[in-house]
Amino acid sequence: MNTFLTGINHQKSIVATTISRSSVSLAFGGLMLTYFGVGGLGLGILAGELAATVFLIYFFNQTVRLHPDIKFNWRVLGPALLSVTSVQVYFGIEVIATNTKTIMYPLALIFVLIGTLSGWSHLDLEIRTRMIRLLGKGFRMKGIE
């Protein structure tokens, strides 16, 4: 969503997300610093990113509604949201309670893998083929073909 809005030079979204991300991160991080130490700064950054995401979703939705020729399926975001949410929940729990590490790390890893596999399976065959080809080129040593 951010790439799309930046690509069409949607200045309102760029300014709103930048201001919300920075101000919420600094304000909430400063407040949480007294309670959680350095981990509170991490919570502030998380809160800033969540605020920026809310603005992104709002502006993206407004832009898509203005252009009826754009068809966007919100379900395609599910796998990515599952992966990102599981990592964010893991980090948040690690900041607050450190005794859950043994169960939370494997759970977060499982949800990231599920999101990755689900996202991969929903990709178009042509895109998967291109990605595999690019991955092969990346691992191929120069001069050996």
Give pTM, 2 decimals: 0.54
pLDDT in tens, 37-59: 888 888 888 888 888 888 887 87
**Mean per-residue pLDDT, 72-84:** 75
Q: Exposure pattern of 25-38 as b/e (b: 16+ CB <10 Å)?
A: beebbeebeeebee
| Residues contacting residue 6 through CB under 8 Å, at least 6 positions apart | 13, 14
Q: Which residues fall within 8 angstroms of residue 1, CB to CB, at 6 or more apart? A: 56, 57, 60
- The better pLDDT of the pair 134, 28 is held by 28
Percent of the chain with pLDDT strictly greater than 70? 78
